[in-house]
Amino acid sequence: MNFFQADETMRRPLPTTPMEKPGGDDSGGPSAPKVKRPDTRQLLDRMKRVDPEQAKRYRQRSGQ
Amino acid sequence: MNSLFGIETEYGVTVEGADATGLVAASREVVQSYSGRSAGPWNYRAEDPRNDVRGFHVDKLSQDPTDAQFDKPGDKVASPTEDRCDRVLLNGARLYNDHGHPEYSTPECSSLRALVAHDKAGERIILECANAYAAKTGKATQIFKNNTDFHGASYGTHESYLMQRGVAWDDVIYNLAPFLATRIIYAGAGKVGIEERGAPSCSYQLSQRADFFSVLQSVDTLHNRPLVNTRDEAHGDARRFRRLHVIAGDANLSEYATALRVGATNLVVALIESGWETPVTLRDAVRSIKQISRDQTYRWLVEGSDGNHISAVDVQRAYWRAACKLELPGSEWLLDEWQATLDALAEDPWQLGDRLDWVAKKLLLDEFAEAEGLDWEQDALTLQSLDLAYHNVDPAEGLYYGLVESGAMLTLVTEEEIEAARCAPPSDTRAALRGLLVRRFADTIKSASWGGLVVEEAGERINLVLPEAAADYPALCQQIETAASAHDVAAILRKA
């Protein structure tokens, strides 16, 4: 059995930069974690182009 | 142990002008737009989804009454063969229409690397079909690799694992249930909102599928869905093997999450085959998967059978510790990554934003909500639309692919491997033979199944049965390449 060749390209260490954990009391909703990430500004522009009502129209047949 | 696994994914699809009623026909036409070399139809006589592994056969499978409203009385019903329009592809995969969903089943794989490449190849093949259909009809068509329409309809991403028939089914259920209920902490794809009537509101949860489970085990998959499916279709030698059919999974875009989900489950299959007994059991695994998915504290505490509470991370650690003791060669990468992921989930899940879908999506949505001043309750529809966009498999549109482009996601396989998987099967499973036979005999293949193909030659139908595990597939492929006829191929396969 060979699950995966343990090639170096498949290993990326977890980020070591300190991160601020989200607030975690039992009653609160999800908070905004402050995590340092690659520059995603272009991606935010892509997000702005998403039709904000597409989920309302999105209907599918029930599958398995 | 026999390491063999695959993933079947039902894709969400939108076609301009098609409502839910028209989706079955539209999905069929999308699948029919596949232009690569392929063969069919599928031989359904070899399958029986109503056969229950617990030793009985049901008269019919449950249907979703909500979905039935989309079937208009008097609609022309295509025959199952016309409706499903199955194709077997050059890479050994199966492509078909499953009740309004283009579905791609990867070929049988024996390594996670091959599986991830073939899963990604499947996304591209389905997208290629959609683009061809759009070009032909002028209708905008989109493909989503997710499991929900946010209105209560779910569709599956199933896994299959080859397993020894000799293991008692009760032992499979006993040992598997706690694992499946808790693996969503790394395998969940993330979802905005909740789709279970009467459940408390939840703005974001770990799993796309958790809302849709009702019972621990059942042969049904369309309604009253179980955590463990009891369908008994071995797709191989049923005297020796069973196919463990896991329907509790989410559709992962993340390659890392796919590898961890399938790899860890395959190790648990090995544990169960070894006679190992889980030290951790849950009072109610179905309730637990929902609690874990919706837990906004990210502590994921569930109730054990003894009444004590235990975290999902610790349940997974019990399986991980046992899997380490198996000392299976080649499992080092998987065990290391499984452990590192569990440690990170316990310490700070947000470290995993470059590799787990539910974390990556949550971080992205939070970033956008903060930049645009969105509120998770009031702007839930906008956030659901962005959730959906995360799963769009078009690299130019999908948000997951935007993350990959920006370098924010860890990927495991290369572009070359994915492109190769579009037309080449894994070389070390029977899929190698299936793909080769499609290449050689596509025009004369009369039917196909996982176990073999029927070819017509000189007015005679020749049954080509694919040999199972332990065959020397590369050597067989070499012989088949030079065989003069389908008759000769049949003789080679009989000797294998």
ipTM at complex level: 0.94
Please indicate whether, in this complex, the C-beta atoms of B385 and A6 are within 8 angstroms of each other.
no
Q: Which chain A residues have a beta carbon less than 8 Å from that of B334?
A: 3-4
Q: Which residues of B touch A6 (CB under 8 A)?
A: 332-333
The two tokens of residue B367 are 């970033």
**In whole angstroms, how far apart are CA B342 and each of A37, B190, B319?**
21, 17, 11
Q: Which chain B residue is nearest to residue A24, measuring alpha carbons? A: B297
Strand partners, B229: B218
Q: Is the pLDDT of residue B137 over 90?
A: yes
Nearest CA-CA partner of B195 in A49, A11, A58: A58
Residue B423 CB partners (closer than 8 Å, separation 6+): B36, B89, B90, B91
Q: Please name the residue of chain B whose CA is at the shortest distance from the CA of residue A25.
A: B297
What residues in A contact B376, CB-CB < 8 Å?
A: 29-30
Angstroms from B8 CA to nearest CA on chain A: 11
Q: Strand, helix or coil at B456?
A: strand
Using alpha carbons only, what angle is made at residue B457 by residues B453 and B462, rounded to the nearest 5 degrees? 40
For position A29, what pLDDT does the model report?
A: 41
Catalytic residue among B98, B119, B220, B295: B98
List the single residue in A5, A28, A60 with the smallest CB-CB distance to B155.
Answer: A60
Residue among B228, B224, B182 nearest B207 (CA): B182
DSSP string of B282-330, one letter each residue:
BS-HHHHHHHHHH-TTS--EEEBTTS-EEEHHHHHHHHHHHHHHH--TT
Q: Which residues contact A25 (CB under 8 A, 6 or more apart)?
A: B297
Handedness of CA B291, B296, B302, B308 (dihedral sign): negative
Minimal Cα distance from B63: which residue of A? A62
Residue B325 scores a pLDDT above 90: yes
How far apart are alpha carbons B126 and A56 in whole angstroms?
24
Burial string for B221-259 (b: 16+ CB within 10 Å, else e) reads bbbebbbbbbbbbbbbeeeebbbbbbbbbbbbbbbbbbb
Task: Tell whether the model's pLDDT for residue B451 goes beyond 70.
Answer: yes
* H-state helical runs in B442-485: 473-482
pTM of the model: 0.94
Residue B348 to residue A63, Cβ atoms within 8 A: no
The confidence score (pLDDT) of residue B94 equals: 98
Task: Print burial letters for B391-413: b (CB count within 10 Å at least 16), e (below 16).
Answer: bbbbeeebbbbbbbbbebbbbbb
Chain B environment of A54 (Cβ under 8 Å)? 385, 388-389
- Residue B471 has what pLDDT? 81
Nearest-CA distance B410 → chain A (Å): 7
Which positions in chain B touch A46 (Cβ < 8 Å)? 397, 399, 402
Inspect the interface and report whether the beta carbons of A32 and B370 lie closer than 8 Å.
Answer: yes
Q: How many angstroms away from the CA of B298 is the closest CA of chain A?
A: 7
As a whole number, the mean pLDDT across chain B is 95
Six token digits for residue A26: 């039992």
CB contact under 8 A, B153 and A43: no
* The two three-digit tokens of residue B334, written as one number: 């998987």
Residues of B in contact with A28 (CB under 8 A): 296
A8/chain B closest Cα distance in angstroms: 10
pLDDT in tens, B165-188: 999 999 999 999 999 999 999 999
**CA nearest B301 in A: which residue?**
A26
Domains of chain B from N-terminus onward: 5-347+411-417 (3.30.590), 430-495 (no CATH)
Token pair 């499947």 is found at B122
Q: What is the pLDDT of residues B54-78, one digit of tens each?
A: 999 999 998 888 888 888 766 666 7
In this prediction, residue A39 carries a pLDDT of: 74
- Under an 8 A CB cutoff, do B111 and A39 touch? no
Closest-CA residue of chain B to A7: B333
- Testing the interface with B: which of A3, A37, A39 to mutate, by most B Cβ within 10 A? A3
Determine, for residues A53 and B381 on separate chains, whether the beta-carbon distance falls below 8 Å.
yes
Distance of CA B407 to the CA centre of its chain: 26
Say which residues have a Cβ less than 8 Å from residue B133's Cβ, sequence separation at least 6.
B15, B29, B30, B33, B139, B141
Distances from the Cα of B480 to the Cα of B347, B444, B469, B490, B494, angstroms: 54, 16, 18, 9, 12
pLDDT score recorded for residue B124: 98
Task: Based on the residue annotation, tell me whether B98 is a catalytic residue of this protein.
Answer: yes
CB-based burial, B22-39: b 16+ in 10 Å, e otherwise? ebbbbbbbbbbbbebebb
Chain A residue nearest residue B377, CA to CA: A29
Q: What is the DSSP string of B182-227?
A: HTHHHH---EES--STTSPP-SEES-SSGGGEEEEEES-SSSSEEE
Q: Which of B99, B112, B366 sits opposite A63 (nearest CB)?
A: B99
B204: chain A residues, CB-CB within 8 Å: 30
Gap from B329 CA to chain A (nearest CA, Å): 6
Distance CA A40, CA A63 (A): 34
Amino acid at the residue B332: E
Rounded distance between C-alpha atoms, residue B341 and residue B348, angstroms: 10
Contacts of B197 (CB under 8 A, 6+ apart): none
- CB–CB of B266 and A3 under 8 A? yes
The strand ranges marked E within B35-140 are: 38-39, 51-52, 56-57, 87-89, 94-97, 102-105
Between β-strands B38-39 and B87-89, what pairing exists: parallel, antiparallel or unpaired?
antiparallel
> Cβ contacts (< 8 Å) between A51 and chain B: which residues?
385
Q: What is the pLDDT at residue A12?
A: 67
Task: Report whether B451 contacts B477 (CB < 8 A).
Answer: no
pLDDT for residue B434 is more than 80: yes
HEC string of B97-125? ECCCCEEEECCCECCHHHHHHHHHHHHHH
CB contact under 8 A, B412 and A62: no
What is the rounded radius of gyration, in angstroms, for the C-alpha atoms of chain B?
Answer: 22
Non-local CB neighbours of B104 within 8 Å, separated by 6+ positions: B8, B9, B11, B93, B94, B95, B122, B123, B125, B126
Calpha distance B103→B95 (Å, rounded): 6
State which residue of chain A sits closest to B114, comparing Cα positions. A4
Q: Tens of pLDDT along B374-403?
A: 999 999 999 999 999 999 999 999 999 999
Please indicate whether, in this complex, the C-beta atoms of A43 and B403 are within 8 angstroms of each other.
yes
Show the low-confidence residues of chain A (pLDDT under 70): 1-37
**DSSP H/E element including B463:** strand B460-465
Q: A-B interface: how many C-beta pairs under 8 angstroms?
A: 199
The torsion defined by the Cα of B226, B231, B234 and B238, in degrees rounded to 10, comes to 120
Q: What is the pLDDT of residue A49?
A: 97
What was the pLDDT predicted at B14?
98
* φ, ψ for residue B15, nearest 5 deg: -130, 125
Q: What span, in angstroms and rounded, lies between the C-alpha atoms of B380 and B188?
A: 20
pLDDT for the residue numbered A1: 47
Q: Which of B3, B113, B387 to mutate to test the interface with A (most CBs of A within 10 A)?
A: B113
